[in-house]
Chains A and B, each alone.
Chain A
């Protein structure tokens, strides 16, 4: 195996390492984005649940008050 050939292969291997690192960095970043999306999802769900709870409470309250006020007939 000639010296030049060896050097070329070593260069290629070197290049390969660099390329793969680039891929790893991109992959890791995508992973971080998915992690972010997951925690964003959780956070949103929890906040939406709280909001939903508030709305449900208000809705039920309105139902109740409506019943109190109308004495049987529904408001139209």
Chain B
């Protein structure tokens, strides 16, 4: 591209980017998400020092040494990382078992090959420490020179020396701790010696030195101490270093937590180095050279500081180890009181308050910045913003320190099973330091503080560009104003009073940093001649730019100014006296504020450092201690003895389980407690992994550490999603269960004093459910999707369980099944607000196995239950309209075996244990019977298709085999046993006579062994089938009516409105129609929708309207089908001999039924079960239905034996015991059954009559001519005699 774009264009292009709207729907509850990080680092490490030739030469020189020292410090950091991240290699290397082993040479060769580069690092480390100690002691020697001592040493310089002291302390501790380094080196050495690799004396010597260096504890520390002690007056310099640390610590002149901790470590180690034979720190204290009481307080407040990674140090331990340690000088540190750093709860209220205050201030500022455009903010505004940024960084740093300090303290003070009851006796060291070492409140507090840190970091990073610009503008203006304006006064004085040193320093300051408006200093400035300004004042226009000083420039300015105000330049007259107080104050203030400028100018870097909590994950120190093994001790509860020692086993592993890892401990704590106020913070502890991984990649630069973090994240995140989705599902299920719970039931519970708290505690899952891109280790995770997947599965399982439960129960379970499905539907509805779950009906179909097969599990189970349980062992009672289980099961089929439902957690059922028991009580009431609720539930669950199937199978597989099988067989058998003819005895015999007549004639039937068992059982089954079909149709009709009424309003169908006398119903109807016009589906769809939609609407409407209008009845069809099964001649017998009717002959079915009715009307004795108890009314229904279908109803009613007894008894009213039968009781029974029979006949006839609607009103009456007397036939005259004629003949 050759096209040239001007800078202004390019910048405005960037400006335009802000105007693009980039909506992101999700609430921000995670740490700063960034795919790209851009960091510009302008720190030159004094590389550009020669550019500032106008500076004072001494400080340029100092900058050179500074640069070199910084390089050494960086190198030291690298060695520290190398030591800290050292993992034992020798354990993985096979050792030759004996000298005869053939491949031992090969093993040794490989060992040397593998370890050589590692050993090389150790060699470098040894040389480095030597070099560093030399450099350090060289500097000390130079500065302690008698002449030099009088000179002033800058704060930055002392601080660098302090950093060296810190470095030595860290390296020494790391070297002491890492025994694996020593082991690896000795493995290497053994191999190398065997192979004679180290042949020349130099290498041998070097190797010897290295192994001595590694083996000697505290080697670096002691060397430093020994070297320093040779320098005369080194303690003065060190006390300066310590003092500056104390000063900086107390005035909070540090920003990152790391610097803060460094200061404390330097105090401890510095004092340790100072205290020697030649020098006693207690005496220095007396001379007020150092202030031990102040240090004592610092050491108490910060008892433990992080040394490196998970290594901690108590700085006071250095003091304890020093030669002249005197506990009385250290009252606070020596006491046993617990340091405030151990108690997070003390800090929490203050942190919260600061957080709220600062966040609101920042929010106000952010709103202002984003809503208003300001071209040129004033200096004051820039200063305000810059201050705001600085305060934010300080707060973040403070909170991060609190967290890391607590963590450090806890690591150094592990708990045990005495202090913490939850901590098992055999808990590991690391576990005792992390997992069991925090109370629940502490964990919550930690989470909260971490959330504040990460949250504020996001907010500040978001407006970073705005903040940075204000910071740069502010620093520029403050610096230029100070240099060009404020420094004029002291300069004038210096010129006037001929103070050349001061003048040259001030001039240098001005020349190194001033950015003059015209490119050079105003020539006619009276100050340069020491003269006063003219009356109108001398005007200097100070420019305004958006840039800060370079790092070297800032260093030069600050150091030179410091030399002006320093008051400790070793006995020599200070320059302070020659500057007037006011100016001194100004310079001092400038020096103090400019301390933070380097941090502010590197805003993004500082922000990241202030929020870095990566060290909460690292545990190399503890891994080193356990050497990758877990000790499993004897776990049997007994008096442990010698034998137990054999049981101690070592488990090999290279990392600790996630339960001991801080990020997961905190995450899991939220998940376990389900604390609503913490739920939205759950992603923040997970962000600690981001910190750690970032640290592994950028600071440690170790692939294996990153891999371990990654592996842990993989594990944790799976757990996290699993646990979270489980509890979200449980929560919403419980909510659904509670919503669905009967309100009156709940009220009753409350009245009875049973506090029924079924509603789950409100929780903030919504925010989590809205997360569609969570950043974790550079991956973007759609949390919503993951949870949706899992909850879909849960939902499915839940429905599956509902159906399985139904399958494990008898038919009564159908009511509970419906309830369960309904509760699941509510749960689905609640969740669908946030998640894209599958369609609920689809899910039910799938769980019901109803997608591919025409009949689902529910239908099949209903049928199975009907067939094997319900129809054969339930008794119907019309009074209650219910079936109940028979007392004695007479069915020939085996009792049905049902599979037990799988055991699942409470939330798969109703939501919670409480709800489960409430519902099981409620639905328990439906288990004793089968009635209307069950039939309604069946209708709703099976639908038309299911009902049709069930009925069809009932007819084909139950009714038909019954009628054409066992019933026919019995009928045939019993018809033979029936008397050939059986009259209706005359009334004169009296009722006992009639009864005994029948008793005698029917004795074969009464005594037939199978009558009261198998025969009645078959009839009951048949009867139950008929009643079932009838009731199911009734239920279905009610459902349909309900449906239609619900639909009516949308179809322009209204109930007839009530009208007063003078009102016109038509008008009122019209008004109603108009009022609800917007509800009418068809007309509205026609108006708004497409032609196709309109057609669909019309068809749907038609379907709904016409559904019931032809008054079709299932039951009628069923009866007709049954009728078709009754085709055997035995049912009707031969045609009557008289051509009209069988009167006394027993050849038709109704006669057999009369006999059976006689049997079941005989009252039972004592404790025997009555027929009703055993078979219910199904028996009667079966008989009556067959009689009606065979068209024998009238004959039955006229000729029935029992009815005859009843009629006779009605007349004579006798009561006797006829051969064991109590007549009165029998008659009562007969009466009851007569009523029942006539009811059944009425119902059946109503359904059957409905069919032949045309002409059904006229009964088909066959007219028989009256019989003729034989005598009349012979006289061939009509038997009819005219009464008139008869009278005449009489008279004649």
Q: Which residues of A contact B (CB under 8 A)?
A: 1, 6-7, 9-18, 20-21, 23-25, 27-43, 45-46, 49-50, 52-54, 56-57, 60-61, 64, 67-68, 71-72
Contacts and interface: CB of A to CB of B under 8 A. Distances in A.
Contacts, number: 137
Interface stretch (B18-26, B307-315, B427-435, B714-722): B18-26
B547 interface: yes
A52 B785 contact: yes
The listed residue with most B CB atoms (<10 A of its CB), out of A6, A7, A17, A38, is A17
A7 B514 CA distance: 12
Nearest to B53: A9
- What 3 A-B pairs are tightest by C-beta distance, nearest first? A49-B772, A43-B22, A21-B547
Given A9-B511, A10-B519, A16-B550, 4 more contacts: A1-B54, A24-B546, A36-B17, A64-B842
Nearest to B480: A17
A17 B515 contact: yes
Given A13-B515, A53-B784, A42 B469 contact: no
A70 B994 CA distance: 70
Given A10-B511, A41-B35, A68-B851, A28 B465 contact: yes
A60 B838 contact: yes
A10 B516 contact: yes
6 contacts: A24-B548, A36-B17, A43-B22, A45-B773, A46-B773, A52-B785
Contacts of B20: 36, 40
Contacts of A29: 10-11, 14
The listed residue with most A CB atoms (<10 A of its CB), out of B53, B464, B851, is B851
B512 A13 contact: yes
A35 B550 CA distance: 25
Interface stretch (B36-44, B879-887, B910-918): B36-44
Contacts of A1: 54
Nearest to B40: A27
Contacts of B545: 17-18, 21
B851 A11 contact: no
A45 B35 CA distance: 11
Contacts of A11: 519-520
B472 A24 contact: yes
A4 to B, nearest CB: 10
Interface string B160-181: 0000000000000000000000
B33 interface: yes
B37 A46 contact: no
B853 to A, nearest CB: 8
Contacts of B784: 49, 53
A57 B772 CA distance: 16
Contact of A20 (B25, B521, B550, B839): B550
Interface string B453-468: 0000000000011001
A35 B772 contact: no
A50 B773 CA distance: 11
Nearest to B604: A31
Contacts of A57: 836, 838
B548 to A, nearest CB: 8
A71 B852 contact: yes
Interface in B1-38: 10-11, 14, 17-18, 20, 22-26, 33-38
Given A13-B514, A14-B520, A39 B546 contact: no
Contacts of B26: 46
Contact of B22 (A39, A50, A53): A39
B712 interface: no
Contacts of B852: 67, 71-72
B24 A28 contact: no
B780 interface: yes
Interface of B: 10-11, 14, 17-18, 20, 22-26, 33-38, 40, 42, 51, 53-54, 464-465, 468-469, 472, 511-516, 519-521, 545-548, 550, 772-773, 780, 782, 784-785, 788, 836, 838-839, 842, 846, 851-852
Given A38-B34, A49-B772, A32 B14 contact: yes
Contacts of B51: 12, 16
Contacts of B14: 29, 32-33
A38 B520 contact: no
A48 B521 CA distance: 59
B11 A38 contact: no
A29 B7 CA distance: 11
A34 B38 contact: yes
Given A28-B465, A33-B14, A52 B782 contact: yes
A43 B54 CA distance: 52
Contact of A49 (B10, B514, B785): B785
Contacts of A61: 838-839, 842
B547 A20 contact: yes
A17 B11 CA distance: 20
A33 B851 contact: no
B839 A28 contact: no
Contact of A28 (B468, B514, B773, B842): B468
A50 B546 CA distance: 42
Nearest to A36: B17
A43 B51 CA distance: 46
B25 A46 contact: yes
A27 B38 CA distance: 9
Nearest to A38: B34
Contacts of A14: 515-516, 519-520
Nearest to A42: B24
A49 to B, nearest CB: 4
Contact of A25 (B33, B34, B546): B546
A7 B520 contact: yes
A37 B36 contact: yes
A31 B38 contact: yes
B33 A42 contact: yes
B465 A31 contact: yes
The listed residue with most B CB atoms (<10 A of its CB), out of A11, A13, A54, A71, is A13
The listed residue with most A CB atoms (<10 A of its CB), out of B773, B785, B839, is B773
A18 to B, nearest CB: 8
B851 A64 contact: yes
B785 A28 contact: no
Nearest to A14: B519
B511 A13 contact: yes
Nearest to A39: B22
A41 B514 CA distance: 43
A67 B512 CA distance: 81
A45 B772 contact: yes
A31 B24 CA distance: 20
Contacts of A71: 852
A46 B23 CA distance: 9
A53 to B, nearest CB: 5
A40 B520 contact: no
Contacts of B520: 6-7, 10-11, 14
Contacts of B547: 17, 20-21, 23-24
A72 B547 CA distance: 73
A1 to B, nearest CB: 8
A34 B37 contact: yes
Contacts of A53: 784-785, 788, 836
Contacts of B838: 57, 60-61, 64
Given A21-B546, A46-B24, A35 B465 contact: yes
Contacts of B472: 24
Contact of A67 (B11, B22, B782, B851): B851
Contacts of A72: 852
A15 B35 CA distance: 36
A38 B839 contact: no
Contacts of A38: 33-36
A16 B545 CA distance: 12
The listed residue with most A CB atoms (<10 A of its CB), out of B519, B788, B839, B842, is B519
A75 to B, nearest CB: 14
B760 to A, nearest CB: 26
Contacts of A68: 851
A32 B133 CA distance: 45
B794 to A, nearest CB: 16
